[in-house]
Amino acid sequence: MKSDRLFKLLWLSIAAAVATIALKVAAYLLTGSVGLLSDAAESVVNLVAAVVAMAALRWALKPADEDHAYGHQKAEYFSAGVEGTLVLVAAVSIGVTAFGRLLDPQPIESVGLGLAVSGLATVINLAVGLALLRAGRQERSLIVEADGRHLLTDVWTSAGVIAGVAAVGLTGWEILDPLIAFAVVINIVVVGGSLVRRSINGLMDRALDAADLAKIQRVLAGFREQEGIDFHALRTRQAGSRAFVSVHVLVPGAWTVQHGHDLVERVEDDLREQFPHATIFTHLEPVEDPKSFADTELDRSQVR
């Protein structure tokens, strides 16, 4: 089952976070590098985010009920928002630590061993992050995809930290260590801001992206050409892994109810073929009636 696969991957993410925290803290204790400490702090955020993602996914997969007729998929956006916020909090804490070290640079010890330990943690994050990102895209799960993106960002962060700490060890320029930490902060802020923005867009019922809208328009254009009908009031939104599409179908008023019903069934089938995870709503209207054009906007106008 889809849900079983996603839960297994999130458990893997939690296990990876615990392992990388232990490894990165060990690397920091070996070297005393604030850059490696900042990397360990981000892994703590990974752990909290994975736990939050697990809880949100359980909620999002609950079936629709009387109080939530459209399902619970929007819970995914809360997870992404919490993860993004935690990332930003981590950035602030890292920045404070780095500023103190910038004012009072400290030597780095056992560079080779510390970097080897940190490198092992990075490899773990890379493998798990790629698996999460692939599964999130395949299953259209924002929760799992966001967790994968966060881990892969952590990989790039760790790679930069490792390279920077190695440079400190080779050159003896101790001030590079806090500067590396500040670079990590900038990277984390970008990632955290992106996650928060995606969460806000989802909660605000943002329309499907341009590529998906183009697919919808191609389907509708085919019916315009073949059946001589028209459409308006197209509205779309994304709620986690589920998309919602509604459109009004304008047909000749002389058509029978059965004829119109058969037509909209074909429209819905063709749209659903393009969007298997979508809920499609169609509204049949006679093209000759002026009132058919009174509801093209969100609030219906008065047509006499």
Q: Give the mean pLDDT of 114-123.
A: 85
Q: Could you tell me what percent of the chain has a pLDDT over 90?
A: 24
Where does CATH 3.30.70.1350 sit in the chain? 210-293
- How far apart are alpha carbons 162 and 156 in whole angstroms? 10
pLDDT of residue 303: 53
CB 118 within 8 A of CB 36: yes
- How far apart are alpha carbons 205 and 31 in whole angstroms? 48
CB 195 within 8 A of CB 83: yes
- The answer to whether the Cα torsion of 253, 254, 255, 256 is positive or negative is positive
pLDDT of residue 198: 73
pLDDT of residue 271: 95
- How far apart are alpha carbons 142 and 133 in whole angstroms? 10
pLDDT of residue 219: 95
- Fold entry, domain 2-203: Alpha-lytic protease prodomain-like (1.20.1510)
**Region at 240 (left for phi over 0; alpha for psi -120 to 50; beta for the rest):** left
pLDDT of residue 267: 96
- The one-character DSSP state at 50 is H
189-217: b (≥16 Cβ within 10 Å) or e: bebbebbbebbeebeeeeebeeebeeebe
pLDDT of residue 230: 95
- Fold entry, domain 210-293: Alpha-Beta Plaits (3.30.70)
Q: Give the mean pLDDT of 141-158.
A: 77
CB 180 within 8 A of CB 160: yes
CB 21 within 8 A of CB 40: yes
pLDDT of residue 283: 94
- How far apart are alpha carbons 65 and 72 in whole angstroms? 9
pTM of the model: 0.64
pLDDT of residue 304: 53
- How far apart are alpha carbons 194 and 189 in whole angstroms? 8
Q: What DSSP element (H or E) covers 19? A: helix 2-31
Where does CATH 1.20.1510.10 sit in the chain? 2-203
Helices (H), 32-141: 34-60, 75-103, 111-139
Angle between helices 142-171 and 2-31 (to 10 degrees): 20
Q: Give the mean pLDDT of 118-127.
A: 88
AA letter at 222: G
